[in-house]
């Protein structure tokens, strides 16, 4: 007789993870609920609601009659996510802590705790995502060592598990899972992958999870809470006052407290300016933040970018990319932005150049370029360099036209030949 499979479900205290645990139990698995605390709410005077979240998660586990555990990764989160976030802001980039948290905490430390310390056959989360395997295949997977070379040996994993978008495309969360390692993915279940958010809420209501249904859906970064971002970040980084500079004529439009309080594309609230101005670029050497007068100014649009070493989820890198030296796929750098067609070129160091079919607004260094083919999420790489904006290219074209039409100067300085 086959033993009952043991699944550890990550519990956040929200409706998604609560329903995930319920569905796992209905499938006949032995389920253990575990709540992770990643941020020390005591440091922030109770702004983060981790204690209330933990209490809500415990209530669900009690209602389901499953064991409940509580683990703290506050130190790990600080060193591997938050410290990285601060360094990225200092470099003028805009990081994505949600992607980093999944990579370093949930699908690393938490995964090791689930299969190692608790002896689980698999881990489960409440993400809206799917994989290419059935539950039983996940239970039969065995650990594989992480690659020590630039790329994994292509024959090391003969049947890699692929990550696919959730059935609810609006709620699909593969974007946030685009950096997770293969060894964790192949032993992870996503019980909500085939469901819509509305149906998940219906299941929660029928199960009597009233306390989680009353919760507001978490949006944004937990450790910032309800506070203004500028106020929060200035608690950790010293102010670096600088100027707002018009990208069109170099005129100083106002002053700011630090380039790291702004991201490309956002509105720059400049004192004394009645019209809206938008951030188009930053210079961390001078502290200047360049702004443009309209939300769709050509200085905000670019069609090329470069990433750092790209993380490929299943194939590293895809066979098509190796064979043809380039590959067509779809791209996004924000969770719910429309997918944009692009061409990818692989570099020797594992990074990639991305050429978009059309210019995209506010491409942002520090964010992640995430690739898709069909409904498969291929992986992601951090954006570290941008190509020229449409405004810069237009200026260059205008200067060339002027140079071509200008009359040639006669050089009278040379001596006549003897």
- For residue 164, what are the CA distances in angstroms to 127, 132, 161, 252, 376? 12, 7, 10, 48, 4
The SS3 of residue 376 is strand
**Sheet hosting strand 267-268, strand order edge to edge:** 252-256, 242-246, 288-292, 277-283, 267-268
Six-digit token string for 344: 């990818």
Residue closest to 76 by CA, chosen among 49, 42, 111, 46? 111
Six-digit token string for 84: 């990285």
Six-digit token string for 340: 């944009």
User: Which residues are known to be catalytic?
Assistant: 101, 222
Q: For residues 76 and 107, what is the distance between their CA atoms, to the nearest angstrom? A: 13
Report helix angle 15-26 to 50-64, nearest 10: 20
Q: For residues 377 and 161, what is the distance between their CA atoms, to the nearest angstrom? A: 11
Taking CA 27 as the corner, what is the angle to CA 24 and CA 33, rounded to the nearest 5 degrees? 25
Q: What are the backbone angles phi and psi of residue 329, rounded to the nearest 5°?
A: -160, -165
Residue spans of alpha helices (H) in 186-332: 197-207, 210-213, 229-233, 319-324
Q: For residues 343 and 150, what is the distance between their CA atoms, to the nearest angstrom? A: 22
- What is the distance in angstroms between the CA of the first residue and the CA of the last residue of the chain? 108
Q: For residues 365 and 137, what is the distance between their CA atoms, to the nearest angstrom? A: 38
């Amino acid at each position: 007789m086959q033993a009952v499979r043991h699944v550890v479900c990550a519990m956040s205290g929200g409706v998604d993870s609560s329903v995930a645990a319920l569905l796992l139990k209905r499938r006949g698995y032995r389920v253990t609920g575990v709540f992770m605390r990643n941020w020390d709410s005591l440091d922030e005077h109770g702004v983060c609601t981790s204690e209330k979240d933990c209490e809500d998660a415990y209530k669900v586990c009690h209602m389901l009659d499953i064991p409940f555990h509580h683990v703290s990764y506050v130190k790990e989160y600080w060193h591997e996510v938050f410290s990285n976030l601060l360094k990225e802001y200092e470099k003028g980039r805009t990081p994505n802590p949600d992607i980093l948290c999944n990579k370093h905490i949930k699908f690393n430390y938490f995964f090791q705790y689930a299969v190692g310390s608790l002896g689980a056959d698999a881990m489960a989360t409440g993400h809206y995502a799917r994989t290419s395997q059935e539950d039983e295949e996940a239970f039969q997977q065995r650990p594989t060592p992480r690659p020590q070379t630039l790329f994994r040996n292509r024959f090391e994993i003969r049947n890699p598990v692929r990550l696919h978008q959730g059935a609810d495309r609006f709620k699909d969360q593969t974007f946030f899972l685009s950096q997770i390692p293969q060894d964790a993915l192949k032993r992870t279940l996503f019980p909500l992958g085939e469901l819509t958010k509305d149906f998940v809420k219906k299941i929660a209501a029928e199960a009597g999870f009233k306390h989680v249904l009353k919760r507001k859906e978490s949006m944004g970064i937990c450790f910032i809470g309800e506070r203004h971002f500028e106020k929060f970040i200035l608690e950790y980084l010293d102010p670096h006052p600088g100027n707002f500079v018009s990208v069109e004529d170099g005129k100083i439009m106002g002053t700011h407290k630090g380039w790291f309080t702004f991201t490309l594309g956002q509105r720059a609230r400049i004192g004394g300016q009645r019209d809206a101005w938008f951030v188009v670029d930053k210079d961390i050497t001078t502290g200047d933040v360049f702004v443009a007068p309209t939300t769709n100014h050509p200085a905000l649009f670019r069609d090329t970018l470069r990433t750092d070493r790209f993380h490929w989820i299943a194939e590293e890198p895809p066979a098509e990319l190796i064979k043809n030296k380039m590959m067509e796929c779809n791209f996004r750098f924000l969770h719910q932005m429309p997918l944009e067609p692009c061409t990818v070129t692989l570099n020797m160091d594992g990074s990639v150049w991305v050429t978009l079919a059309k210019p995209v607004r506010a491409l942002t260094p520090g964010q992640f370029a995430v690739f898709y083919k069909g409904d498969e999420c291929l992986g992601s790489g951090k954006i570290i360099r941008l190509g020229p904006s449409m405004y810069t290219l237009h200026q260059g074209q205008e200067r060339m036209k002027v140079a071509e039409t200008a009359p040639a100067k006669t050089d009278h300085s040379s001596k006549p030949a003897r």
